[in-house]
Structure 1
Amino acid sequence: MKDPEPGRGLDVATLQRRLAEFAAARGWQQYHTPKNLVSALSVEASELVEIFQWLTPEQSARVMSDPETAHRVTDEVADVLAYLLQLCEVLGIDPLSALDAKIDRNERRFPAPEEP
């Protein structure tokens, strides 16, 4: 069931459930091993890189202004996120907690310079 307003009322658990249901309905769960999901994630990330590969920094900053390219970027970002969320589900990782903890570690590792 599609939400009438994209992005409204969505959360990670809901998206993970929808992805799991999608895979289950097609009998794909057996293929969703950590190794396979990481490989698929890498492929999708590479497809995203391919869009930007030969662009200048200025062109890459304007990539969303071209509707066709914006659609491709959005689709590839969605593919990357889908495989990442599925990997987290299979491994029992809470992606939001993992990211929150990583930001905490990075803040300690790379403290902001004090203002003069």
Structure 2
Amino acid sequence: MSDENTTIAELKQVVDRFVSEREWHTFHNPKNLAMSLSIEAAELMEHFQWLTQDEADAVIGQAENRDEIGEEIADCLAYLLSLANVMNLDLDQTLRQKMVKNAAKYPVETSRGVARPNPSGESSV
């Protein structure tokens, strides 16, 4: 399987099956899942903390580091998918709606090549 031929629904099912087999649904509520996602994202950030861009590029160029970073990304994705399962969110629809909002918030004409906070403090990237 690969990204090219795996659906989001299939990935959501993989995560749900894993959670179900362990009887973890009781613990998988939006609060706990959001907190767990944040923890996993922090673990992902640790791989790059204090590195220059050149050093970060070197880290991802090494197979062992790339595998470890991939595992952290997979952990983040698993929690995102589990959260979507619990909230009964259609991720395709949700992402597409958000991208429409982002396109209005960050018009190409004023946002191309710009990485600075918008007036609300959110990153433009």
Q: What is the TM-score with the length of structure 2 in the denominator?
A: 0.81
Identity of aligned residues (%): 35
Counterparts of 1:30-109 in structure 2 under 5 Å?
30-109=26-105
Flag structure 1 segments of 5+ consecutive residues without an equivalent: none
Structure 1 residue 63: deviation in Å? 2.9
- Equivalent position to 2:20, from 24, 36, 39: 24
Find runs of 4+ consecutive structure 1 residues off by over 6 angstroms. Answer: none
Partner amino acid, structure 2, of 1:62: A
Partner amino acid, structure 1, of 2:92: L
CA distance in 1, matches of 2:29, 2:61: 37
CA distance in 2, matches of 1:12, 1:63: 29
Aligned to 2:11: 15
Partner amino acid, structure 2, of 1:73: I
Partner amino acid, structure 2, of 1:86: S
Structure 1 residue 8: deviation in Å? 5.1
Aligned to 1:112: 108
Higher relative contact order (CA 8 A, sep 6+): 1
CA distance in 1, matches of 2:75, 2:57: 21
Structure 1 residue 9: deviation in Å? 2.8
Q: What is the TM-score with the length of structure 1 in the denominator?
A: 0.86
